[in-house]
Amino acid sequence: MSQFARRKVLQVCGVALGVVGAGCSTFQTNTTETRIGEITVINQVAQSDTVHLLLIEDSNPIYWDSIEVEPNSGREGVVESKSVQNYPTEPGKYALYAWLDDQSRSEWEQVDLTESDSSCLDITIMVDSAENERDGLIRILTFSECADDGTENF
């Protein structure tokens, strides 16, 4: 295993343990299991970014990834996006965290997917411009309609 890969694994594991120890137990109270349809990352800022994702189920980190997104071209009607791959697709009690390289843990965006009444959610993670700042902010949007199976759950 390369030095970079080893360091990345240790970094993600350390982050996951910190998140679990910092209050993810609150996500265990709900019993609703939700299936994740699609996860898409959209960059709306004029610089490239790396978005980090961490998916937790029952206080256990089960998926993590770093997604490089290209800068937004600024052309009207053109949005830079990237589909996330290889995440769990079976129903579960999930919590999703997303952050940029330079964001502190207190600035991470999180969503508890068990709070939805929907059995399937599509997720869009947006890198959006912050007011009076050059750097972007993360937003997680969930949609109660899974594009991959044609179901709509309102």
Strands 136-143 and 120-129 turn out to be antiparallel
Locate all alpha helices (DSSP H) within the chain, ordered by sequence.
Answer: 3-21
Helix (H) / strand (E) element for 126: namely strand 120-129
Q: Where are the domains of the chain?
A: 3-152
pLDDT attached to residue 78: 72
Distance CA 113, CA 99 (A): 17
Cβ atoms of 55 and 61 closer than 8 Å: yes
pLDDT at 30: 47
Token pair recorded at residue 78: 């053109």
For 149, the token pair is 């199976």
Q: What angle do CA 54, 153, 25 make, to 5 degrees?
A: 35
Task: List Cβ neighbours of 43 (8 Å cut-off, separation of 6 or more).
Answer: 49, 69, 70, 71, 72, 80, 81, 127, 136
* Top-level class of domain 3-152: mainly beta
The reported pLDDT for the residue numbered 79 is 76
Q: Which long-range contacts (CB under 8 A, 24 or more apart) does 146-152 make?
A: 146/35, 146/37, 146/38, 146/120, 146/121, 146/122, 147/37, 147/38, 147/122, 148/37, 148/38, 149/37, 149/120, 151/119, 151/120
Segment 74-112, tens digit of pLDDT: 777 677 789 999 999 999 999 999 999 888 888 899 999
pLDDT tens, residue order, the chain (154 aa)? 444 444 444 454 444 444 444 444 444 444 679 999 999 999 988 888 899 999 999 889 999 999 999 988 777 767 778 999 999 999 999 999 999 988 888 889 999 998 988 899 999 999 987 664 555 689 999 998 787 654 443 3
Provide Rg for the chain, Cα atoms: 16
Please give the structure tokens belonging to residue 132.
């009076």
Residue 154: predicted pLDDT: 36
